[in-house]
Structure 1
Amino acid sequence: MKKSIWIFMLAFGLVVLSACNGNKVEELELPEMLDVQLEVPETVDVNEKIAMKAIVTQGEEKVADANEVEFEIWEDGKKEESSMIEAKNNDDGTYEAETTFEHDGVFTVQVHVTARGLHTMPKKEVTVGTGAAHEEDHEEGHDDHDHGQHADGFGMHFMEPENVKAEKEVAFTVHLQNEETPLEKARVRFEIWNDDISEKHDWVDAEEVSPGEYTTKHIFKEPGTYSVQIHVTNDDGLHEHEEHEIEVKN
């Protein structure tokens, strides 16, 4: 009986060794990052219609199936007044939209691209007309850091939820970028309050679900207009924040 057991164990061991040698474990490959080339003119005339174009690739492949491509535009010092324009998908890896500028000034055009579980948001500066008509406002705006003016190279894009209702769970997602690459391993917290309802501020921590993408969930107990401020810090001394308003309905 003992001899039979030893023969069985020896045979089993040989089978295991054979399986290990014959089947190599495949290495996990991380997806290639999105590359987005933003094309906008550096200088334009007031009320001149311009084309904005984003060329999206992943490695050698043209990305024609992006989930979302939007152009965000704001005047220097007035990030809180930015406007979003949805891009047209040309089905060849390019996405386009048009815009005009109503007065002289310095503006930023930033494209937000979400595709294949990744997000990137390069930006460029556009000088309109003389570019100096609102220089005074621009200087004042740099002191107003609480309303969306960030350090050079840092970018934040809050995917503001729609049709938010009381007593229903809602997802908060924000994309962070530094020097046009996803900002990873940051600490992201959502501060939520409504002074008409309570003096209490709720704090909700977000989790990084993919490079530079942070998400969490929250339930508003009552309808009303809530302030949501996103706080971002990391071990390199970064400290940024941006405030938004969310309307909660019954």
Structure 2
Amino acid sequence: MKKRFIIIILCTLALTACASQAENDEQQQEDVEVKGIHVEFELPKQAKVGESVLLQTTVTYGEDELVTDAEEMKFEYWKVDDEKNTVSVEATNHEDGTYSSEVKFEEPGTYEIYAHTTAKGLHTMPKKAITITGEQQENHDQESQKEEANAEHEHQQEFEIMLNPLGEITVNQELEITIKLAMDQQPYKNARVRYEIIPENSEKHDWIETEEINAGEYVNSYTFKKAGQAKMIVHVTDDTGLHEHKEFQLEVNE
């Protein structure tokens, strides 16, 4: 009887320890999953034509770890009524978690700017807008830089990222997402395509790797956990140095 009682106690202790370990493992896994990079993008709302504008970011990993060795940090900007002509500027790494560049806008108008950031194997690209006021200036150096940047990406101007129709999107339903890539109307093969999904009012970004099931056709599934607006950014890279992206707005129903 006494032996039986001891065995029961030992079994109970073992089960308790296993449960405790499982909870710890689950908590550690959750901590790893929510850890990501955060980019604080500083930009004035308005500036004048020809005025030097500071573009600056502070990059952190997790809650407060400064990232001093980002793999990529560059700014990409364009006028909102001329989205095909973009200019990319590499940022200076100040080795304290901050990165910056200075640019001058020679034409009045509204410009949108992406802060492309890759760090710890993750990529994000917060976007902000700035309004430039004043008279247009003639600046051949600026035009030359713009033409060089456009020439560098000329082969990408005919690049297409197409999302297959999704139909109605509902919560907790597995959704197959298919992206088709084309260059000069021909399927674009052997790319790395990732979906960055950002639910409304969420700090968490879900990254989904895809598989190329047919030439230029990339697929994976995702399940939305809550209703509302969501943003999906499709990132495309490959070994040739291609780096393209396209943003889609999605509506998730109950």
- In structure 2, what residue type is equivalent to 1:172? V
Partner of 2:228: none
For structure 2, the 5+ residue unaligned runs are: 138-159, 162-180, 182-186, 223-230, 239-243
Name the count of aligned residue pairs: 183
What CA distance in whole angstroms lies between the structure 2 residues aligned with 1:43 and 1:234? 30
Partner of 1:67: 71
Partner of 2:218: 204
Cα gap change, 1:83/1:97 in structure 2, threshold over 3 Å: closer, same or farther? Answer: same
What CA distance in whole angstroms lies between the structure 2 residues aligned with 1:205 and 1:131? 48
- In structure 1, what residue type is equivalent to 2:192? A
Partner of 2:40: 37
Cα-Cα RMSD: 4.8
Quick check: which one's helix share is greater?
Answer: 2
Query: Is the Cα–Cα contact under 8 Å of residues 171 and 216 in structure 1 kept in the other structure?
Result: yes
From 115, 133, 145, the equivalent of 1:129 is: 133
Cα gap change, 1:80/1:16 in structure 2, threshold over 3 Å: closer, same or farther? Answer: farther
Query: Is the Cα–Cα contact under 8 Å of residues 189 and 230 in structure 1 kept in the other structure?
Result: no
- In structure 2, what residue type is equivalent to 1:45? K
Query: Is the Cα–Cα contact under 8 Å of residues 182 and 212 in structure 1 kept in the other structure?
Result: no
Corresponding position: 1:170 with 2:170? no
From 209, 215, 236, the equivalent of 2:252 is: 236
2:84 partner SS: helix
From 39, 46, 49, the equivalent of 2:49 is: 46
**Superposed, which structure 2 residues align to 1:35-184 within 5 Å?**
35-57=38-60, 58-130=62-134, 169-177=190-198, 181=203, 184=206
Q: Deviations over 1:195-232 (max 9, x none)?
A: xxxxxx85321467xx96767999xxxxxxxxx99695
- In structure 2, what residue type is equivalent to 1:72? E
What CA distance in whole angstroms lies between the structure 2 residues aligned with 1:131 and 1:207? 49
Q: Kindly name which structure, 1 or 2, has the bigger radius of gyration based on alpha carbons.
A: 1
Q: Deviations over 1:110-150 (max 9, x none)?
A: 212222343332222111124999xxxxxxxxxxxxx99xx
Cα gap change, 1:96/1:102 in structure 2, threshold over 3 Å: closer, same or farther? Answer: same
- In structure 1, what residue type is equivalent to 2:103? T
Cα gap change, 1:12/1:77 in structure 2, threshold over 3 Å: closer, same or farther? Answer: farther
How far off is 1:18 after superposition?
Answer: 4.0
Query: Is the Cα–Cα contact under 8 Å of residues 106 and 131 in structure 1 kept in the other structure?
Result: no
- In structure 2, what residue type is equivalent to 1:46? V
What CA distance in whole angstroms lies between the structure 1 residues aligned with 2:234 and 2:56? 27
How far off is 1:19 after superposition?
Answer: 3.9
For structure 1, the 5+ residue unaligned runs are: 1-6, 134-146, 149-159, 161-165, 193-200, 219-227, 238-250
- In structure 1, what residue type is equivalent to 2:95? D
Cα gap change, 1:44/1:108 in structure 2, threshold over 3 Å: closer, same or farther? Answer: same
Partner of 1:144: none
1:79 partner SS: coil
Partner of 1:136: none
Query: Is the Cα–Cα contact under 8 Å of residues 73 and 110 in structure 1 kept in the other structure?
Result: yes
1:80 partner SS: coil
What CA distance in whole angstroms lies between the structure 2 residues aligned with 1:85 and 1:17? 63
Query: Is the Cα–Cα contact under 8 Å of residues 73 and 116 in structure 2 kept in the other structure?
Result: yes
Query: Is the Cα–Cα contact under 8 Å of residues 189 and 216 in structure 2 kept in the other structure?
Result: no
What CA distance in whole angstroms lies between the structure 2 residues aligned with 1:78 and 1:15? 73
